Chain A
Amino acid sequence: MLETEIRDLFQRQVASDLPVARVSIAEAHRAARRRLRLRRAAAAVSPLIAAVAVLAIAASGSALTGAGRAPAGPGGQPAAPRQFSSTRSYVRLTWLPGRSAVTQYRLSSASDGLDISSSIVWDFGAMAAGQCQLRHRTLSCPVIRGLPLRRVVGLVGGRPMYLSVLGINVRILSWEYAPGAWAQMAGTSGASAVRAALRIARGARFGPAVAAPARFPYRLVGVPAGWSLSGLSISPGYHDLIQTATFSAPASSRLSAPVITAAPAGTMASCKRLIASPAVGEYQVRYQTIRGYRVLLSFGPAGQGSPRQHSLCVPDADGTLLELQGGPNSSMVPVFEHLRLLGANPARWTTRPLG
């Protein structure tokens, strides 16, 4: 029977020893603790401070909404670059269904991702040129490979939009927004939502100037050459602006490149909640005053073969909560010494977080 052969196949596939795992439990543990901290920090900020932050963002034109008239639609779309900016979204959505909002922007050199939260939940992604390959009506992008493009559901900027269905009810819409550059939307809603998704796609504007650059409440100064911002995520939809910037440094750098999370100022309790889930093994926490700011330093975990992870949290650095997460065995105190704080007024923030 076929069922028996399937069982035998599965048993044979897993019977042999697997190669050494590339999975890092320590890294997963760290990432999970980090997510918990962000969730707790988002819930901990006072409503008054959150309201001020929202108004300030609105007054400054928001971190990522474009100023001025949007350029022509995809019909006159310039060629997409092979690398996006990590501080400026390459896409802006000019139409969303009622009661919808973009809840997170994720920027990197390879792609921009937008999470749209509404009664229909869609992920929107724009890939830089060359990230996807179309061969024999099958599209392969970094995340989803081998997606068959069979059914055209409409035109976007004169180019076909393809609908692919995965599993029972997962719909993926793909279209080429510029020569060699693809965008995709994915959701699990019903067929009727495809019409709304088509309208979202037709309202998408692409280009290096469709969105204002992100603004940062700090600047890293005096860091060694070769540092760069490799990724940025911004969550404007939870009454706070939570911004997480991932920096990269050459291997020879004496300073460890941090991951910096910024949010409206909180209290030391906010920082305590960020480290409320310490890891196994030796884990240390202490308070210290650095540059006149009261900070919470944490070290851990050690043991289990994993190096120490350092973090530094300032609950109120001139109106901004900052958390610096470091690499193995690298204190974040020296990095904090290189941080120029720009206050709580977004008008005084910078679009260049390095230099």
Chain B
Amino acid sequence: MTSQRDHDYIEYVTLRLPALRRLALLLCQDLHRADDLVQQAIIRVYLHWPKAARAGNIDAYVHTIVVREFLHERRSSWTRRVSVTGDLPDTPAATPDQDWSLDLRAAVAALPPRQRAVLVLRFYCDLSIDQTAHALQCTPGTVKSQTAKALGSLRTALGREAGRARFQDATSLRSHGEAASNA
């Protein structure tokens, strides 16, 4: 027996898997967890496939599933096991980058899950406030406040890092100066 549902599902997920992994990577800020998230999310996609297929925008519907699964997984999944095949791939070394970018990346990774999800939906998926609110099952006002909190946290963290960098530079210069004068 064959099913059009199963055929369509397999075809869609196969084609969209890279995009789903990229979205999950931004949410989780960790590739291994991102793959676990995608593994779990595409199960739910199948369970909700009839509804997804009827949606005007399947991608948006599936992205919503990924985001909600991300937030739900962070809330509670004590013994939920995700069977993910294959060996753990070697993670390539981070390419050289500016200090600022690394600080921003670390600051984003340190955000609470919901704030991070808001930033990903608004600044990567380019969703509107209303669309973001629908994905997160909250009000537009909440999206605005979460965005503001996230940006505020980032500015605070980056300001703090910038201050620390300046301090380190200053002490480094002072120690070099002392070494030179003692030479």
Contact = CB atoms under 8 A, between A and B. Distances in A.
Interface residues of A, number: 59
Interface string B86-101: 1011111001000001
Given A2-B155, A7-B123, A166-B75, A27 B83 contact: yes
Nearest to B74: A166
A19 B89 contact: yes
B113 interface: yes
A120 B21 CA distance: 33
A108 B75 contact: no
Given A18-B25, A22-B86, A35 B2 contact: no
A281 interface: yes
Contacts of A186: 75-76
B31 A19 contact: yes
Contacts of A144: 74
Contact of A13 (B5, B9, B43, B105): B105
Interface residues of B, number: 63
B69 interface: no
Given A18-B31, A168-B138, A279-B6, A184 B108 contact: no
Contacts of B155: 2
Contacts of A111: 78-79
Interface in A76-112: 106-108, 110-112
Contact of A188 (B10, B38, B75): B75
Interface string B13-36: 110011001100110000110010
B125 to A, nearest CB: 9
12 contacts: A5-B104, A7-B123, A18-B31, A19-B91, A20-B86, A166-B114, A167-B71, A187-B76, A277-B5, A278-B3, A280-B10, A301-B6
